[in-house]
Every structure is written in C-alpha cells, then in structure tokens.
Amino acid sequence: MSALLFLLILVLIVNILSVQYSYAQKSTISAVFVFGDSTVDTGNNDYIPTISRGNFPPYGKDFENHEPTGRFSNGRLVTDFVVEFVGLKKNLPPYLDPSLTIEDLMTGVCFASAGAGFDPLTSQIGMCLTQSQQLDLFKEYKVKMEAAIGKERTDDLVRRAGYLLSSGTNDFSFNYYGPLPIRRKDYPTIAQYKQFQWQLVEQFLQGLLDEGAQKIGVVGLPPIGCLPAIITLNSKSPIFGRECNETYNALARDVNQMLETNIKTLERPGTKIVYADIYTPIINMVEQKSQYGFEESHKGCCGTGLIEADFGCNPKSPLCDDVLKYVFWDAFHPTEKGYRIIFDSLKPLIQKNLA
C-alpha cells in the first residue's frame, strides 16, 4: 500500500469517527421516533404491499445520490432536519428497512406510513399502517432493543427520546370527504367525526405514554385547502382561478385548535406534550410566496402539478424547471425547500423541548 493511500484511508477513518463523535456529543436527547403519514414517512411503505409509494424517480431527485427513498418530496423531510439539528444523525431511517443496525435503531427511527390517518379506515383505504400498527412496531422495537442492549438501557433510551406524531390530513381528504361515504354515514356531522378523531388521537397518545414516552410533539394539520390536489378537486374552475379552499382551511384550523387544547389534558407527571403548528408557515409560504423566493404555490412541480402524487408522479412525468420556485413538489407534498422553511419555523419549539 502506498503511503498516500494509507494516509487517505487514515484521514477517512478519522473523519468517520469524528462525525460519529460529534453527533454523540451534541445531543441531549437519546433518539427521535416518528409516527404518522406521508409528511413524515421516510420509506416504510417501500416494505409493505401498498400503492402509496414514492420510491421511484423523480422522488428523491435532490436527495443524496438522487436516491428515491420513499420520501414524498424531491429531498429531505422535516424529520430529517430535526434529527440532524438535535445532533443525532443526518437522516431518520424507516424502521422497516431490514438493513438497519442496532446503532441505527438506537438513535431513532420512523414508524410512519404514507396514506395513514388517525382513523384506521383511512389507513385501510391507503393500504398502509394504521396508527395502532405503528405503535405495535414501536413495541416490537423495544423488545428488539432489550435483547440487544438490555432492559435498563432501553428504558432509559425510551424515556429520554423525543416523539413526533404527524397525521390527520388523509382522514379528511381521502376518507370523510372522499369517494367512499362510509364515515359520513357513521358520523353525519363533521363535529361528530372530529370528536371521533380526537378519541383516536387520545388512544394513540395514551398508548405511547404507557410505553414510556415523556416528550411528545403533536403536529397540527396543514392548510388542507391549499394542497394543489384539494384545490383541483374542489374548485369550480380547477385550471384558472386556482385559490385555496377556505372550507378545508377552516376545518384544519378548527381541528388544530382542538388538538392544541386537548393534548394538554393528557400530560402526566414528568411528561410533556406540545403542539407544533405547521399551518402558519405553510399558509405564509402560499400567500406570500415571493418573500421566500417562490413563484408557484398552487401547483406542484411534478407533472401538471394539479393532481399527481404517488404513482401519478413517476419517471414519465414532466418536471418544473426550477424546484426552488415551488412550494409543493407533487400535488400533496411540499418541496424540500418548503420542508426546510417549515422546519425553520419549528426550530424554537424544538430547541426548547428537544435539544
């Protein structure tokens, strides 16, 4: 081996060690665990039989190595920025990835599944993991960790971790107001459905607390009426005069208010449950797009931008010229730049509660 090559390898090893060292040093929380839908699924749906997938181009076009990982965007998600910010690792891997090591598992994983809702029927429609299946996977995770590092260390890890829940949009867009009238029959008024939804959120959070979680963030709904596909499906003139649908936005604000108030009632001694507002940063991006350097906020970058997501946004889809000018990547999900701006707005909350 030449001296130069030896030196190069040495430099590489030192670099790798120092990266791991700096991550281990910087973090006061042990791990991050994420539950919910496509806004936070980093690729679990790649490993289950579903059509709700984003693991083909052009998804991931701006991710490391342009890899389509199953993230529903051109790049990274808010949860990736979170784990990097708190000093745990660069990106948050999906729990179902069979190649994860114990070290990967130890600093947190994602249990979310694209298409999911709080309502199990929503997840059934989306052929993905329900909230309670996601919680079951977390229980399985704990058993795995206990076998690997012992019960005491696992309990400590679980106690010192941060938990994030981000779901609910699909309950309204695909389920309650979707083509199948099942839930509208069960819960004729939206107030009744909202109440049902809260029971499900409560059940999930109680389950998480019972498993030992102490720091939980509950992410509210986005302005659903501004999602490009929702505009298209509900507007009388879906091509011209595209505007956010205020009926959906009012509903989102209403649900968010319920979440923000109600989650506090579930706190137990030593636990903290905080509400994370994503409605405000998204509506700001949509309504004041030029302030952020955006030029288009009512259409996605992929395809026509009016309706495509999942398999609708695929290798054959035309793409916008400059993704940095778009708030939305496909007709449901923000671009990496959009996610970065959402993350920036959540930073103070994360700093206060997680870092």
Residue 31 in 3-state DSSP?
coil
Nearest CA-CA partner of 339 in 31, 82, 19, 66: 82
Least CB distance from residue 230 to ligand NAG, whole Å? 8
Question: 113, 298, 310, 333: which is the annotated catalytic residue?
Answer: 333
DSSP state, 216? E
Residue 228: phi and psi, rounded to 5, are -50, -40
Comparison of 33 and 177: residue with beta carbon closer to ligand NAG: 177
Pick the closer one to ligand NAG by CB: 100 or 306: 306
299: Cβ contacts below 8 Å, ≥ 6 apart: 228, 242, 305, 306, 326, 328, 331
Nearer to ligand NAG, 29 or 244 (CB): 244
What x/- string results for residues 246 through 265 when contact with ligand NAG is judged by CB under 6 A?
-x------------------
By rule CB under 6 A, what string of x and - marks binding of each residue 297-336 to ligand NAG? ----------------------------------------
The burial class, CB within 10 Å (0-12 / 13-18 / 19+), for 21 is exposed
Secondary structure class of 34 (helix, strand, coil)? strand
235 binds ligand NAG (CB under 6 A): yes
Binding to ligand NAG (CB under 6 A) within 215-234 occurs at: 234
Known catalytic residue at 297: no
- 113 among known catalytic residues: no
Q: Which of residues 120-149 bind ligand NAG (CB under 6 A)?
A: none
Count of positions on this chain that bind ligand NAG (CB under 6 A): 5
Selecting among 27, 37, 38, 166, the annotated active-site residue is: 38
* Token digits of residue 214: 């102490």
| Contact (CB, 8 A) for 305 and 331 | yes
Q: Which residues are catalytic?
A: 38, 330, 333
**Binding positions for ligand NAG, rule: CB under 6 A:** 234-236, 245, 247
